[in-house]
Copies of this chain bind each other. A is one copy, B any other.
Amino acid sequence: MTLRAVKPQHETRTRILDAAEELFMLHGFEGTSMRQLTAKAGVNLAAVNYHFGSKDALIEAVFRRRLDPMNAARLAALDALEAANRPPAPEAIIRAFIGESLRMVEDAKGGGRNFIRLLGRTYTDPAKPIRALIGQLYAPVMARFKAALEQALPQMPAEELVWRMHFMFGTLSYTLAATDTVQLIAGCKPEDRYDARLLEDRLASFLAAGLTAPLKSVVRKAA
């Protein structure tokens, strides 16, 4: 329990989490073996089971380490926004949600970028325990942002808002995860790397326009 004992413990844990973050992002959960994971982390094969209990528990730990602070920051940003002016503009609410993710992408050294791409992958992973975990960690954030958008767009039918939030969520996660599809569309230069500020501007204006799109024929058919 002394200082010397605590530090190396967390050192090994952190090395494992960092390696897992990157390898899970690159090869998926099932595609990453404990042997390559521990080799990359520079720890013994048994270290994962010692520190985390199992591979599944490691997966959960990987998500909790980043997701809890990120969602807390999202809620804080929304709180600050609503304290300033109420209700905030839809685009401002969108920025409160996506900004934290995009800033993590810039943090290439810290490994946050690996996590964000892993997260984007995992949204579409139907494995039950993982989905349950993600859902549980996201539920409060979703509820808060849904309430904020309902207030900002009082004329929007609830069902339509749910779908448009779904679309927004999809755009964000895909944008974060599928970096090379941009190159697929245009023979894009690979040096054109993510600039988080610029990308946030692009995304926010795209999403705000979609979110506040006129309600046209959709309403008629939904009724």
Chain B residues with CB under 8 A of A117? 126
Interface residues of A in 57-77 (CB under 8 A from B): none
Using a CB–CB distance below 8 Å, which chain A residues touch chain B? 25-31, 117, 120-121, 123-127, 131, 135, 138-139, 142, 146, 158-160, 162-167, 169-175, 177-178, 180-182, 184-186, 188, 197-199, 201-203, 205-218, 221-222
Distance to closest chain B CB from A49 (angstroms): 20
**Contact indicator A185/B173 (Cβ below 8 Å):** no
Chain B residues with CB under 8 A of A27? 30, 126-127
Would you give 25 A-B contacts (Cβ < 8 Å), ordered by A?
A25-B126, A27-B30, A29-B31, A120-B124, A121-B126, A123-B174, A124-B124, A135-B180, A146-B185, A160-B202, A163-B199, A163-B202, A163-B206, A166-B175, A167-B171, A167-B207, A169-B178, A170-B175, A171-B171, A198-B221, A198-B222, A201-B217, A202-B218, A208-B213, A209-B210
Distance to closest chain B CB from A156 (angstroms): 12
Number of copies: 2
14 new A-B contacts, CB < 8 A, other than A28-B31, A201-B216, are A25-B126, A28-B127, A29-B31, A31-B127, A124-B177, A135-B184, A139-B184, A159-B186, A169-B178, A170-B170, A170-B178, A202-B218, A209-B212, A210-B210
